[in-house]
Amino acid sequence: MSKIIVFAFPVFLMCIALEFWWDQRQARLKGLSSRFGLSDSLNSLSLGLMSQLTGVLSKFIGLLLYAAVFDYIALFPDADLWKQPVGWLLALVIYDFCYYWLHRGGHRMAILWAAHGVHHQSQYYNLTTALRQTSTGAFFGWIFYLPMAVLGVPPLLFGIVALVDLLYQFWVHTEHVKKLGWFDRVFCSPSNHRVHHAINDGYLDRNYGGILVVWDQWFGTFTPEQETCVYGTRDPLNSWNPLWANTQGYVRLAQTSLQLPSWQDKIKVWFKPPGWLPASAAALEKPEFQMAKVSTYQPHRTTGQHAFASVQLVFILFAGAAFLWVADELPLQTAAVFCVGLCASLWVLGRYTEGQLRGWQAALLHGATATALALAQ
């Protein structure tokens, strides 16, 4: 699967480049504001690569558990249905149904939101946002797909439809495709997925569908796009540090849990909706969210600093692609070393982009990381 992602990544980058060109053209011709922030896009790409790097180590959790349930509990493991195109299509529909409930759970349960919230942190909405993925989702997400193993969907077919569902969702992360009529009422589209990413009062926790939005129609979570969307999260990240992006949710949950006096509430806060507090903890409540106070996080960087950061990311992307190409053949210990080293480089890039490191410091740290990886090899 890692090699498929390596093949897909140049296509993603080409589509992003085309969208950026069109975005800048529209901005010049129509006087519109850009849908891109360079530092934000670099951060989204960093988080996308980090999710793939850590996925080399964590993907076995879900796959092994899925295979175990398939081997021992599957009701129809040898059904001819799964070997035919109609079975493949059925497996994709079942996967998308399971994804709807995982996605819905990711917004309605705090511990799942701590992982999924990474994808929503960007205050821009473009194709780089699609690649902004969590590195911790594999720890709990597998639970929602076990019904497919029970039904007897073979692990290989499960992996294929999972990849198809994921790749489909790339193109819907754009503001440059407007409403599509009947398509918006059946399928996940740019219009209704913009609603999903918005923090407007009327748009919160809506439109969870991956490929099909009919699940939202059936279960009462569909809302069409009307007012202009404002993107991000109501508890903003305000950082380009990819490690903090992945751990922020868990850290804040742990902090809240520690401050609650009741052991029952200390546990509940992880499984209740994000932001939940018991009545006895009113003192911990945050000020009410006000849309008028939303501001875009964008530390000043010069053109030269942006260019330096972009070059850094290009090198890390190439190194990451090379690692992912051979990752399945590497011993687990070696893969872990390369994963840690490349993630460290992404951390350095993020700290430089937000102004916490100087150029020479970033270059020195990158050089040290590259040397350590070469010696490890």
pTM of the predicted structure, to 2 decimals: 0.94
Q: Which of 138, 109, 113, 137 is nearest to 269 (CA)?
A: 109
Torsion angles phi and psi, residue 365, rounded to 5: -65, -40
Retrieve residue 309's tokens.
Answer: 């950061």
* Cα Rg, the chain, nearest whole Å: 21
Cβ burial of 61 (10 Å; 0-12, 13-18, 19+) is: middle
Instruction: Indicate the Cα dihedral angle 23, 25, 28, 34, nearest 10°.
Output: 10
The pLDDT assigned to 286 comes to 84
Torsion angles phi and psi, residue 212, rounded to 5: -100, 135
10-residue mean pLDDT series, the chain (377 residues): 82 96 91 90 97 88 89 90 95 98 98 98 97 94 95 95 96 96 97 98 96 97 96 95 97 96 95 92 84 89 93 94 90 90 95 88 78 64
- The answer to whether residues 148 and 101 touch, using CB atoms and an 8 Å cutoff, is no
Q: Which of 200, 251, 257, 259 is nearest to 225 (CA)?
A: 200
Q: Which residues of 298-310 are buried (b: 16+ CB within 10 A; e: fewer)?
A: eeebeeebeebbe
Distance of CA 299 to the CA centre of its chain: 23
User: Could you tell me how many residues make up the chain?
Assistant: 377
For 83, the 3-state DSSP assignment is helix
What is d(CA 268, CA 308) in angstroms, rounded to the nearest whole number?
45
Task: Give residue 258's identity as a one-letter amino acid code.
Answer: L
What is d(CA 171, CA 269) in angstroms, rounded to the nearest whole number?
35
The pLDDT assigned to 57 comes to 86
- Alpha-helical runs (H) found in 170-302: 182-186, 190-197, 214-219, 242-259, 263-271
